Amino acid sequence: MQSHEVVLYTESLSKNFGALRAVDNVNLKVGAGVHSIIGPNGAGKTTLFNLLTGFLKPTTGDIFYLGKKIANLPPYEISQLGMSRSFQITSIFPDLTVYENVRIAVQSRLKASYNFLRSFKKLKGVDSKTKEILGRVGLSDAADSLAKNLSYGLQRGLDIGISLATDPKMILLDEPTSGMDKKDSQKVIQLISDISKEMPVILIEHNIDIVLSVSDLVTVLYMGRILAEGSPSEIRKSEKVQQAYLGGY
């Protein structure tokens, strides 16, 4: 559930693309639980993610993560600080097995060791951690399948598993259920809910029913600005949200 400890916050964050101000003076505070960012197409949600993860530099404003200013760090440094973003299945190696995909991600976090015995112990650690993650994302039975043979929904689950393998302290998910049938969506939503008990999750999601059911806090972006913020029931009741956004659905 929501806690008052803020892990990530932005100060007057803005991003211009030429004359367009895609993110406009955003002050966002993210603590524990699931924090959803919603808003119509073009509202600036993905641009905001790109700013938070270092893929875009702000035009003005700042971003603080775990007390550190990160707005001008490159993506890999932000990722090393434990902020993990799940891309739409682009991080998967299709011709490797599900197990190998996760194992590679687990290993990527460990520094190479020249001490043979220590390496051996580490290798055992890698195997057990890989299996633990496969269990968490519901892929134990599919461990030996080639990634490319998984259903789309399970590939998204694998993608989240690859994110978890890097020991994140926070996870960002951009439309993790897009293109999924209801059954797969439900699995991913359950997974998001489980993960959020261990680390903050920022979720971009178009399906409003999913948002209202899984979120602790919802921020509504509209034309780059925060239009409203509150609990799912506050957002559901908000008249300006209904007019600007929910009514359009």
Exposed, middle or buried, 38 (CB in 10 Å: 0-12/13-18/19+)? Answer: buried
Of 5, 41, 114, 249, the residue at the interface with ligand ATP (CB under 6 A) is 41
> With helix as H, strand as E and coil as C, how does 15-64 read?
EEECCEEEEEEECCEECCCEEEEECCCCCCHHHHHHHHCCCCCCCEEEEE
* 178 near Mg ion (CB under 5 A): no
Of 16, 25, 46, 178, the residue at the interface with Mg ion (CB under 5 A) is 46
Q: Of 65 and 222, which has the nearer Cβ to ligand ATP?
A: 222
Q: In angstroms, what is the minimal distance from the CB of 21 to ligand ATP?
A: 9
Q: In angstroms, what is the minimal distance from the CB of 47 to ligand ATP?
A: 3
Report what 44 binds from ligand ATP, Mg ion, none; CB cut-off 5-8 Å by kind: ligand ATP
234 phi-psi bin (left φ>0, alpha ψ -120 to 50, beta other): alpha
Report what 17 binds from ligand ATP, Mg ion, none; CB cut-off 5-8 Å by kind: ligand ATP
Q: Give the number of other CB atoms < 10 A from CB of residue 81.
A: 16
* 42 near ligand ATP (CB under 6 A): yes
What CA–CA distance (Å, rounded) separates 44 from 36?
13
Q: Of 39 and 168, which has the nearer Cβ to ligand ATP?
A: 39
Q: In angstroms, what is the minimal distance from the CB of 173 to ligand ATP?
A: 13
Q: Of 33 and 39, which has the nearer Cβ to Mg ion?
A: 39
Q: Of 105 and 171, which has the nearer Cβ to Mg ion?
A: 171
What CA–CA distance (Å, rounded) separates 246 from 76?
36
Interface with ligand ATP in residues 203-242 (CB under 6 A): none
What CA–CA distance (Å, rounded) separates 191 from 106?
19
* 115 near ligand ATP (CB under 6 A): no
Q: Of 174 and 216, which has the nearer Cβ to Mg ion?
A: 174
- In order of 217, 219, 244, the CA distances from 230 in angstroms are 6, 7, 16
Residues 6+ apart with CB under 8 A from 210: 177, 185, 189
What CA–CA distance (Å, rounded) separates 214 from 200?
13
User: For binding to Mg ion (CB under 5 A), which residues are involved?
Assistant: 45-46
Residues making contact with ligand ATP (CB under 6 A): 17, 20, 22, 39, 41-47
